[in-house]
Chains A and B, each alone.
Chain A
Amino acid sequence: MKYFKAFIVCIALLGWFSNVASAARIEISAPGEKTIPLAITRLLPMPGTTVSSAVAVEFQQVLLSDLELSGLFDMVDSAAFLSDANKLGLRSNEIDFYQWRLLATDALIKGGYKIDSGRLTVELRLFDVVTRRLLSGRRYVGKLTDVRKIAHKFADQIMLSLTGEKGPFATKIAYISKRTGRKELNLMDVDGHNSVRLTAHKTIVLNPDFSPTRKELIFTSYRNGNPDLFRKEIYTGRESRLSLKQGLNIGGRYSPDGREVALTLSKDKNSELYLIGTDGTIHQRLTNHWGIDVDPSWNPEGDKIAFVSDRRGNPHIFIVDVHSLEVTRLTHAGKYNATPAWSPKGDKIVYARLDKGVFNLFTIRPDGSEDRQITFGAGNKEHPRWSPDGRFLVYSNDLNKDKSIWIMRADGTGGRRISAATARDSHPAWSGRW
Chain B
Amino acid sequence: MQKLTITGLALLFALSLLVSGCAKTPAQEDPMPEEKTIIEEVKQQEPTVVIDQAITEEEAAAQALAAEKAAANGLVRIQFDFDQYVLTDSAKGILVSNAALLTAAPAVQVLIEGHCDERGSDEYNLALGEKRALATKSYLVSLGVAADRMSVISYGEEMPIDAASNEAAWSLNRRANFKVKR
Q: Is A336 an interface residue, CB under 8 A from the partner?
A: yes
The answer on a CB contact under 8 Å between A339 and B123 is yes
The answer on a CB contact under 8 Å between B155 and A315 is no
* Minimal beta-carbon separation of A429 from chain B (angstroms): 13
Q: How large is the interface on A (under 10, 10 to 19, 20 to 34, 35 or more residues)?
A: 20 to 34
The 5 sampled A-B contact pairs (Cβ below 8 Å) are: A292-B124, A295-B124, A338-B121, A339-B121, A382-B121
Q: Is B64 an interface residue, CB under 8 A from the partner?
A: no
* Minimal beta-carbon separation of A362 from chain B (angstroms): 14
List residues of A whose CB falls within 8 A of some B CB: 183, 204, 206-207, 222, 225-227, 247-248, 250-251, 264, 266, 269-271, 292-295, 308, 310, 314-315, 336, 338-339, 352, 354, 357, 382, 401, 427
Q: Is B120 an interface residue, CB under 8 A from the partner?
A: yes
Please name the 7 residue pairs, one residue from A and one from B, whose CB atoms are nearest each other, closest first.
A338-B121, A271-B127, A292-B127, A294-B123, A295-B123, A251-B123, A204-B158
Residue-by-residue, is B20-45 near A (CB-CB < 8 Å gives 1, otherwise 0)? 00000000000000000000000000
The answer on a CB contact under 8 Å between A250 and B126 is yes
Q: Is B134 an interface residue, CB under 8 A from the partner?
A: yes
Chain A residues within 8 Å of B83, by CB? 314, 336
A206, closest chain B residue (CB): B122
* Minimal beta-carbon separation of B77 from chain A (angstroms): 20
- Docked complex: B120-145 residues within 8 A CB-CB of A: 120-124, 126-128, 130-131, 134
The answer on a CB contact under 8 Å between B154 and A207 is no
| Bound-complex Cα distance A20 to B155 (A) | 54
- CB-contact partner of B122 in A207, A292, A314, A354, under 8 A: A207
The answer on a CB contact under 8 Å between B119 and A248 is no
* Minimal beta-carbon separation of B142 from chain A (angstroms): 15
Q: Is B172 an interface residue, CB under 8 A from the partner?
A: no
Chain B residues within 8 Å of A266, by CB? 127, 130
* Minimal beta-carbon separation of A360 from chain B (angstroms): 13
* Minimal beta-carbon separation of A70 from chain B (angstroms): 30
Chain B residues within 8 Å of A248, by CB? 126-127, 130, 154
The answer on a CB contact under 8 Å between B130 and A247 is yes
| Bound-complex Cα distance A401 to B165 (A) | 10
- CB-contact partner of B127 in A225, A264, A357, A382, under 8 A: A264
- CB-contact partner of A354 in B119, B153, B154, under 8 A: B119
Among A204, A270, A292, A338, chain B packs the most CB atoms within 10 A around the CB of A292
* Minimal beta-carbon separation of B174 from chain A (angstroms): 15
Among B126, B127, B130, B155, chain A packs the most CB atoms within 10 A around the CB of B127
Known contacts being A248-B154, A269-B134, is A294 close to B120, with CB within 8 Å?
no
Extra 12 A-B pairs, beta carbons < 8 Å, given A248-B127, A264-B127, A271-B131: A204-B158, A226-B153, A247-B154, A248-B126, A251-B123, A292-B124, A292-B131, A295-B124, A310-B124, A315-B124, A338-B121, A401-B165
| Bound-complex Cα distance A266 to B165 (A) | 29
